[in-house]
Chain A
Amino acid sequence: MDRQQLLEELERIVGHDGIRHRPVDLLVYEYDGSVDGAVDTAAPTAVVLPRSTDQVSAIVKLAKRADLPVVARGAGTGLSGGAVAQRGGIIVSLTRMDRVLDVNLLDRTALVEPGVINLELSDGVRDQGLFFAPDPSSQKACTIGGNVAENSGGPHCLKYGVTTNHILGLEIVLPNGEVIWTRTAQDGYGGLDLTAAVVGSEGMFGIVTKALVKLTPIPAATTVMLAAFGSLDDASRAVTSIIAAGNLPASLEMMDNLTIQAVEPAYHAGYPMDAAAVLLIESDGHPVEVAESVEEIEALCREAGATSLRSADTAAERDLLWKGRKMALAAMGRLAPNYYLHDTVVPRSRLPETLETVEAIARHHKLQIANVFHAGDGNLHPLMLFDRRKPGDVERILEASHDLIHECVRVGGMLSGEHGIGTEKRGYMTLVFSESDLRAMAGLKEAFDPDQRFNPEKVIPTGYMCGEVKQLHLQAMQQQHGIVPV
């Protein structure tokens, strides 16, 4: 199939308005939210913007006939290169499938299309006393489809769980164009749980075209505590003891002094400027239960050496305390023009030594690293500050990343808590997974997508798929379709 024929057939499916194919149109689909240097940009062969499951299915069948890769894309806010068409092919942009199809207040579920924006789903059901619990930092912009692909988390996933805990069923267009619903396993009818397999599969198993999601009741009472500490070590010990004592805060976040220096002058959230670290701890639930847990958590913080403690019960006070945390990444602009962050996860008990290691890595590479992270589940977010205009800065950042990941893995950590592997961390997969582990993953991938058509070159490193000879073939196809590597 030549390029002209491909475009004509795509147009027949999605209409003239639903396809982008000129070089200038493709330029803006070269990137996602990933950091330059950590993820290479790449242009697709064409971009389509379908409006229905049927259109998605027809596109996928056509891609199979044309033997082209398929990459699904939501808002393109991902941080690991998941929405970049590394091997060219067709980007299926789901931004026009953005309807909330049904809200069932009795069952507390919503049936949504993949392009619905995370926060707007919550906003739409707030008056009914409900919300969609996964709350990644990008929740104002990112879509449910993207959340499913990356199994996104957020500050509140400590108590409420990550995306997979909030998905009841998915409508998926499989790589052969067939449409299936994965609902049955969740309904308790038995069978294999395909929902669990698809959530977090980073677009490698198919394209989600509808999601049945769980809505969570807004808790009756919420208290946010701010505890300041004289050392990172004290703060880390407080984290460990809070969880070890059997508490389950809605969220448990840590910010170090460098972060406080960036945030407090900008937002006046009331964080003590001289604290080595602050913990932001949110407790929610029944008012009596919350009061009890606040008391216990405060006692544990004091025991760990907290230098000051504050708590906020009203929405306005809580919002102010949270604002500093939520705007922390934005405020980094006050310290440096760019940052690169990883989201490795370490066991909570290893937090103190890991934070020391991070400091050592910063010193070694002469970098500033700010720590602002989901301490409750050991999910680090070391923000490496740099200025990409300075020669050598990007390289130093990548070297420091390398050290950081190795150190986290050494203490029993994992590569990513919520940002996904994509192409960004694909090269590190062999650090944490054995050959057999990776072959098992590759086997699952091949069961869904024997042609290796969906989001090629993501997650599973080279050498584990039996279809890898095909990649050369795909490359040849791209050239045939008029995309010339620079």
Chain B
Amino acid sequence: MAVSLVDLVKHGYSGDDVPDDDLLRACVHCGMCLPTCPTYRLTGQEASSPRGRLWLMKSVADGRLDLLDPEFDEQMYQCLNCRACEAVCPSGVHYGPLVEAARSQLEQHRPRPLWQRVRRRAGLNFPFSRVSRMRAMVNGLRLYQRVGLSAALRKTGVLRLVRLETLEAMLPPIQEAPLVSGKESWNPPLVEDRIDLFNGCVMSTVFSNVNRATGRVLAHNNVATAVPATQQCCGALHVHSGMMDEARKLARINIDAFAGDGVSPIIVTAAGCGAALKEYGFLLKDDPNYADRAARFSGRVQDVTEYLAARDLVPPTHDVRATVTYQEPCHLAHAQRIIAQPRKLLAQVPGLEITEMKESSLCCGSAGIYNIIRKRMADDLGDRKAENVVATRADCVVTANPGCHMQLRTSLKRNGSEMPVRHIVEILDEAYGGPVVGSKATNA
């Protein structure tokens, strides 16, 4: 016996990016994913679990549930796409590509009201499709922070009026001018390896200091860094929002930009970008002109921690006297399964103490733009994370992804903590005597 929805089902999957049926049916609903899912942990309801969502996707495929049922939309987008479920799945279900395909189906078939379409274009597609636009915006924001407008505006309540206060509060102090691709490179006297740096849109602007620190740390390790000129945003946020065509456009641009010698490792400083770049092969598998090149491109991509941990690190020269705790970015720990490498690197920093937090691999609630569009769920996760971070009594929390970085900072602040947040590369940079940034005074 089953619930009969058949009479009501009018819309099924069709067009591009239909969730792969074999992938879907690989789920045997054993339930081992449940405790790893942040939204299930918060709600306790089956529909908010990976197993429940896969069952809903299967139900659409079987014609038992309408693609346009509002609850289907709700569940596909309530998911943080943190992929913690994927890492523990005994059957090896590729959950990420499935939920992304389901979202693409919704975007193709679901008529969205005008204001939602405008918001998507303005908030997502506009800034994240051209790095130059992001750069212009961030330059403006940097000026805005510098002249003290930030504090002034916050007082007036104007931000709340235009519903930008969440975004504004998330933004950390922007420390350096944007790193423009093609304009800077690092060339140590002794070169053992050459890499191409993936600059990213948020990393090259809001966190340009981290990308520069990466260049310095790699140089200390006899690795030359180039930043290929014509690269763009990775398209991760588009994939997560079901905007596959836009994502494919960006992927093709990046594959061309990194054509170069075709073998140098492509090093990424943002876990979210890295996970997306490693999946270009899947994203473009049906594009006859790009499928092979995309697969080869993905094979070259490495997270900066993955790359450095695989080399024998040149021993750092400076003590970093601090206790840090490491927050695992979901797209590093779950999507890329990089768990030991960041800890291995931190353990090689002289003077540094590492203390593990509870639930270090549970999503902090950032999840790309999730913390902006689903603030309440994201805040609940952020509060839970802040509590676990503060409980370690560390001096600093370290992570490796800009979304987590900003979410940690906001969540800690909201919970009354001034603990600084830093990218793991900043710690390494300091251990090699690089500019000392992010001490409590400047980064709090």
- A interface residues, Cβ below 8 angstroms from B: 20, 22-33, 35-36, 40-43, 49, 75-77, 88, 93, 95-96, 98, 115, 117, 120, 138, 140-142, 327, 329-330, 333, 337-338, 388-389, 483-486
Contacts and interface: CB of A to CB of B under 8 A. Distances in A.
A264 to B, nearest CB: 17
Nearest to A142: B31
Contacts of A95: 44-45
A96 B29 contact: no
A141 B32 contact: yes
Contact of B31 (A23, A77, A338, A388): A77
B47 A486 contact: no
Contact of B25 (A22, A23, A42, A389): A389
Given A24-B72, A27-B59, A28-B47, A75 B4 contact: no
Interface stretch (B87-95, B192-200, B291-299): B87-95
Interface in B23-54: 25-26, 28-35, 44-47, 51-52
B64 interface: yes
A98 B44 contact: yes
B45 A20 contact: yes
29 contacts: A20-B47, A24-B5, A24-B47, A27-B55, A28-B56, A33-B29, A33-B31, A35-B28, A36-B28, A41-B2, A42-B2, A43-B1, A43-B2, A75-B31, A75-B34, A76-B34, A77-B31, A77-B32, A93-B44, A95-B45, A117-B35, A138-B30, A138-B31, A140-B88, A338-B28, A484-B4, A485-B2, A486-B1, A486-B6
Given A30-B3, A330-B90, 18 more contacts: A20-B45, A20-B47, A23-B8, A24-B72, A25-B71, A28-B46, A28-B55, A29-B46, A31-B29, A33-B30, A42-B2, A76-B46, A77-B32, A93-B45, A93-B46, A115-B44, A138-B31, A485-B2
**Chain A binding surface, main DSSP class:** loop
A142 to B, nearest CB: 8
A88 B34 CA distance: 24
Contact of A43 (B3, B25, B26): B3
A142 B71 CA distance: 26
B69 interface: yes
Contacts of B44: 49, 93, 95-96, 98, 115
A76 B56 contact: no
A388 B1 contact: no
B65 interface: yes
Nearest to A119: B35
Contacts of B59: 27
Return the 3 tightest CB-CB contacts between A and B, nearest first: A95-B44, A330-B90, A77-B31
A389 B22 CA distance: 9
B29 to A, nearest CB: 5
B44 to A, nearest CB: 3
Nearest to A329: B90
A32 B5 contact: no
A28 B25 contact: no
Contacts of A338: 28
Contacts of B55: 27-28, 30-31
Given A24-B5, A333-B90, A138 B56 contact: no
Nearest to B1: A485
Q: How large is the interface on B (under 10, 10 to 19, 20 to 34, 35 or more residues)?
A: 35 or more
A191 B46 CA distance: 40
A40 B1 CA distance: 8
Nearest to A79: B30
Contacts of B30: 33, 77, 138
Given A42-B1, A43-B2, A24 B29 contact: no
Nearest to B92: A333
Contacts of B22: 389
B71 to A, nearest CB: 4
Interface string B172-194: 00000000000000000000000
A76 B44 CA distance: 12
A85 B31 CA distance: 17
Contact of A27 (B3, B25, B28, B29): B3
Given A49-B45, A93-B45, A95-B44, A23 B3 contact: yes
A28 B46 CA distance: 6
Contacts of B8: 23
A124 to B, nearest CB: 10
Nearest to B70: A24
A31 to B, nearest CB: 5
Interface in B310-326: none
Contacts of B45: 20, 49, 93, 95
Nearest to B89: A330
A261 B239 CA distance: 38
Contacts of A483: 1, 3
A26 B3 contact: yes
A233 B28 CA distance: 33
B35 A141 contact: yes
Interface centre among B28, B33, B69 (most CB of A within 10 A): B28
A485 B6 CA distance: 12
A424 B193 CA distance: 60
B26 A337 contact: yes
A24 B65 contact: yes
Contacts of B56: 24, 27-28
A364 to B, nearest CB: 25
B90 A27 contact: no
Contacts of B28: 35-36, 338
A24 B47 CA distance: 9
A49 B40 CA distance: 13
Nearest to B358: A123
Contacts of A142: 31
Contacts of A486: 1-4, 6
B48 to A, nearest CB: 9
A140 B36 CA distance: 9
A430 B124 CA distance: 63
Nearest to B55: A28
A368 B9 CA distance: 40
